[in-house]
Structure 1
Amino acid sequence: MRLPLILTLGTALVSLGLAAPVMADGHGERAATPVAVPLTAEELLAPYYARLRETVEMPEAGPNPALAADTRLTRIAFGSCNHQSASQHMWEQIARQNPQAFLMIGDNVYGDNAWDGDAGLESLRAAYAEQAAHPEFASFRARFPMLASWDDHDFGLNDKGASFPFRGWAEELFETFWNSSDEVRSRPGTHDSVIVGPEGQRLQIIMLDTRFFRSDLKRMPWSAERPPLGIYLPDDSMGATVLGAAQWAWLEAELAKPADLRIVVSSIQIITEAHDYESWENFPRERTRLLNMLAAREDSGMVMLSGDRHSGGIYKLDHGGETMWELTSSSLNLAFGDIEGNTAREPDPKRVSPFFGVENYGLVDIDWEARELTITLLGAESQTYARQSFDW
C-alpha cells in the first residue's frame, strides 16, 4: 500500500526553506520581515515515514546464522549486482564452494528500475520482498552468515549519493532487510566492521558506505557522441567527498584496531583509473586519501573487494611502500558483456587479468600458516576465470 503525500506547492517551498511565509501582525497587516523555517526533505517527510512504518510490511531477508567471533575464517565468498527478477542460480554454485561467510557488496537488488519518484520507494520495498521470496536465496542465507553493503540501485537511484532526498528511508529498508546490527542502525549510513578469529588469525572485514555521504558526480558537457567509457569527470575540489567526515573518522579508527588481515569492501572500484563511470577516481583527492589511510593502517595484510561494473577482474597497485590488490566481482546474474570484449574495450595497466563481462562471483582463501591470500573470480558454473595468490 502506498500512502499519498499531499503538500501544496506553497507549503512545500516554505517547509524546505525555499520561500518565506507571509505573516500578519496584530492589526491584520502583513509583517515587514517574513520568517522562513528551513527543513530538509527528510525532516519534511518524517511524519509520512512514521505513518509508513505503521502501515506497510518491511521486507526481511530471513534467518541467517551469526558469524561467531572466534571463527577461524579461511574462505569467504562475495558478489554484487543481483537482480531480484533474474535467475537465482548462482546461490547453489556459491554454496558448493562451502564459504564460511558471504559478502553482498552492492546492488543487492535493483529497486530503482520501476521507481516512479514516490517518497516511499515502493519499488525498492517490492524488490526486497521479491528477493526474499526466492527459495534459492532463502536456502543459502539459512546456511551461510552474510554481511551486506549497498550501491546505487539498492540505495535508491542510479549513480546517486548524499543529495538523494529519500536516502534515510532507503537506509531503513536496507537495515531492516539485512537485519543490520544495533551499531549500524545507531548512525547515519550503512558502513560496518567486524573482527573475527583467534589471536594471530584475526580477520577484520570493513564494509564501506560509498553512497550515503558522497558528493554529486561531476558530469561531462553534453555531447552528441557519448563517450564509450562513461560520462563523469574527476572532481578534485576540496569539499568533494566519498565517505563524509564521520565515516572517514570511523575508518581511521577501525584501521588502527589490531588485526592480522583486513578485507576492505567498496561497492565501487578503487584502484582503476581506466574509465569514466563511477569509481573512486571520480574524486582523486578522496582516492589518494583512502590509499594513504590504508597504507598507514595498523600492521596487517590486506585485500580490497569491489563490484558495480557488471564485469570482473584483478587489479594491482604499488602504493605507500606495498603492493595492494583488488578483486572486482560483478555481476551475479546481470551480465552485460562477454568473455573477451570488455578486455579490449577497457585497457588498463593496473588490471592484471582480462576483464570478464559474464556472470561471476569472488572467493578469498586464507592460508594462515603460509600467510598467503588467494583471490579467485569464478563463473556461473564455478569455472575459474582469474586467480592471484600473494603473501602478506
Structure 2
Amino acid sequence: MRRLSLFALTTAAAALAAGPATADQHDAQVPLSAEELLQPYYEKLQQQIELPVAPPNAGIAPETVITRLAFGSCNHQSRSQHMWAQIAATNPELFLFIGDNNYGDQGWDGDAALTTLRQAYQTQAQTPELTAFRSQIPMMITWDDHDFGFNDGGASFTYRDWSETIFETFWGASDEVKSRPGIYESRTFGTDGRLTQVIMLDTRFFRSDLAMMEYTPERPPLGPYVPSEDAAKTMLGGAQWEWLEQELAKPADLRVIVSSIQVITDAHNYESWEALPLERAKLYELLAAREDSGMVLLSGDRHAGGIYSDTPEAADGEQIWELTSSSLNYSFSSTERNTAREPDPKRLTDFISEENFGLVEIDWDARTFTTSLRGSEGEVRVTRTISF
C-alpha cells in the first residue's frame, strides 16, 4: 500500500469530511483536528490489513492472593528473549509489562500507518519465549514511548489514536480500557485483608510536551529537559487524574502503582515526573489522601534500575518507595559506570545497568513486601524489605 504524508492524508480527509461548501459555509465550518481528519484513512486501513495479536494469555481470578508480582520494561523484540524463562522461574502470580515493550519506533519513516510499530508487534506475536510465558503467567500491560510510537512522545503525537488501536488489539485490552482514550487500567486481586490493587498509569497519551534546555554546543550528559512550572501542562490529563483519585479511594491493603517513567528521582534530565513538578506534587497529594493501605511505585524506562525512597512534603512526609527495573534485554552500560555517572541521594542502591527484572514479594502475615532486582540468571542484585 502506498504510504502518504500527513499533509496529503489530512488534506484528502478534510475534503471528504467537508464535502462541497458554499461561500457562506466557509466561515461557519469548525476546523477539525489532525486526528479527526485521519479517521477515514484508519477506518479504510483496518479493512485492508489484519492487526497483530499477542499469543493467548493465562487468566487470573479476582480472588487470587498475590504473593509474588514480577515486572519489567525495555524489551527489544529482535534481541534475545531469554529473560522470560528467568521471570517464569520465580513463579509470579502476575507479571506487569510496564513500557518500551517493543521498539516499534526504530526505523520509522513517519508514515501514518505506523508500519514499523505494527511489524514490531508482529515479531512479538511470533516469539516462542513470549508465547510460552503468556501461556503460564497472567499479564497486565502499559506502554512507554517506544511502543507508543515516537521517542519521548506524548499528547502531540498525531498518530496516537492509531497507536492505541494497535496496542489494544495486540494485548487484548478490556472493554473498559477500549471505551476511553488512553490505556490506563486498575485491577484488584485477593480477599479481605489481602487485597492488592494494581494501578497501571498511562504517562504518554495525555502528557504535555516537556520544556527543553537552551541549546549548548555540548549535549547534556543526563538529558535535555528542564522542570516546567507551567500549570497548563499535564502528565495524565484531566480524565485520568479524576479516575486515579477514584481508584485510590477504593479499599486495598497494598497498592502497586505503575508509572512507565520515574517518579521520585531528581538526579537527571531525561523524562521523569521531575519535569512537571506541579503534576508530581499533585500525585503525591493524591497518594497521601488515599484510602489507608501500603504502597509501592514501579517504573522503568532508564535502561538501568534501583530502589528509591523519599519523604516528599506534598505527601505529608510519608516515606514513598519506588523500584525501577530496566531493561529486560537492552542494556547500555555497566553498573559501576552508571552509578558513578548519576549520583542520587534518593537511590538507595547501585544503579543496576545489566539486564534485570523486578520482583515484589508480599508476606501477608508479617505485613511486609520485599522489592528486588533480579539479573539475567535470576540472581538477586539489590533488595529491600518494607513494612506496610
Partner of 1:370: 366
Distance 1:42 1:23, change over 3 A: closer
Matched, 1:326 2:325: no
Partner of 1:28: none
Deviations 1:97-148 (A, max 9, x none): 1111100000001000011111110100000010111101100011000000
Q: Deviations over 1:191-219 (max 9, x none)?
A: 00000001110100000000000000111
SS in 2 for 1:87: coil
Q: Distance between the aligned counterparts of 1:228 and 1:248, measured in 2?
A: 32
Q: Is the 1:79–1:329 contact (alpha carbons within 8 Å) kept by the matching residues of 2?
A: yes
Provide, for residues 259-303 of structure 1, a one-character-per-residue CA deviation record: whole Å limited to 9, x for no partner.
111000000000001100000001000011101111111000000
Tell whether 2:80 aligns with 1:87.
Answer: yes
Instruction: Give the TM-score, by structure 1 length.
Output: 0.94
Check 1:32–1:81 CA distance in 2 against 1; reply closer, same or farther (3 A cut): closer
- Give, in whole Å, the separation in 2 of the partners of 1:135 and 1:10: 37
Distance 1:183 1:9 in 2: 34
Residue 174 of structure 1 aligns with an amino acid whose one-letter code is F
CA contact (8 A) 1:76 1:99 kept: yes
Equivalence for 1:137: 130
- 1:313 and 2:312 equivalent? no
In the alignment of these two chains, the number of paired residues is: 383
Provide the rounded CA distance (Å) in 2 between the counterparts of 1:68 and 1:48: 39
Which residue of structure 1 lines up, in the alignment, with residue 51 of structure 2? Answer: 58
5+ unaligned residues in a row in structure 1: which ranges?
Answer: 26-30
Q: Which amino acid aligns with 2:327?
A: S
Letter in 1 for 2:193: G
Identify the match of residue 170 of structure 1 among 147, 163, 170: 163
Native 8 Å contact 1:337 1:356 kept in 2? no
- For normalisation by structure 2, the TM-score amounts to 0.95
Compared CA separation, residues 125 and 11, structure 1 to 2 (3 A): closer
2:252 matched to which residue of 1?
259
Aligned CA distance change for structure 1 residues 101 and 34 (closer, same or farther; 3 Å)? same
Alignment pair present for 1:234 and 2:234: no
CA distance in 1, matches of 2:6, 2:118: 23
Which of residues 346, 350, 354 is equivalent to 2:346?
A: 350
- Closer, same or farther in 2 for the Cα pair 1:282/1:118, shift >3 Å? same
CA contact (8 A) 2:262 2:300 kept: yes
Q: Give the helix-richer structure, 1 or 2.
A: 2
Given candidates 180, 189, 200, the residue that maps to 1:196 is 189
Kindly state the Cα deviation for residue 67 of structure 1 after the two structures are TM-superposed: 1.6
Q: Distance in 1 between matches of 2:120 and 2:246?
A: 35
> Which secondary structure does the structure 2 equivalent of 1:340 belong to?
helix
Please state whether the residue corresponding to 1:322 is helix, strand or coil: coil
Asked if structure 2 preserves the Cα contact closer than 8 Å seen for 1:306 and 1:327, the reply is: yes
1:280 corresponds, among 273, 283, 290, to: 273
Contact 1:266–1:304 (Cα < 8 Å) also in 2: yes
| Structure with max Cα Rg | 1
Q: Aligned to 2:150, which of 142, 145, 157?
A: 157
Aligned match for 1:384, one of 362, 380, 383: 380
Distance in structure 2 (CA, Å) of the matches to 1:292 and 1:376: 27
Tell me, what secondary structure is at the counterpart of 2:319? strand
Structure 2 residue 100 is matched with structure 1 residue 110: no
Q: Residue by residue, what CA displacement relative to the aligned partner does 1:158-216 show, whole Å, maximum 9, x if unpaired? A: 00100000000000110111111110010000000000001110100000000000000
Q: Distance in 1 between matches of 2:32 and 2:40?
A: 13
Q: Which of structure 1's runs of 4+ aligned residues deviate more than 2 A?
A: 2-16, 20-25, 31-37
> Using the alignment, how far apart are the partners of 1:358 and 1:251 within structure 2?
33
Amino acid in structure 1 at the alignment position of 2:165: E
1:4 Cα deviation from its structure 2 partner: 4.0
Residues 100, 73 of structure 1: CA spacing in aligned structure 2 closer, same or farther, 3 A cutoff? same
The worse-fitting range, judged by mean Cα deviation, of 275-284 and 216-225 is 216-225
What is residue 38 of structure 2 aligned with on the other side?
A: 45
Asked whether the 8 Å contact 2:3–2:113 carries over to 1, the reply is no
Q: For each residue in 1:195-253, what CA deviation from the matched residue of structure 2 results, as whole angstroms up to 9, or x when unmatched?
A: 00011101000000000000001111111111110000111111000000000000000
8 Å Cα contact 1:362/1:375 also seen in 2 = yes
- DSSP 3-state at the match of 2:374: strand
Q: Specify whether residues 11 and 202 from structure 1 end up closer, same or farther in structure 2 by C-alpha distance, changes over 3 A only.
A: closer
Distance 1:12 1:212 in 2: 24
Residues 9 and 38, structure 2, Cα contact 8 Å, conserved in 1: no
| Alignment check: 8 A CA contact 2:9 2:41 kept | no
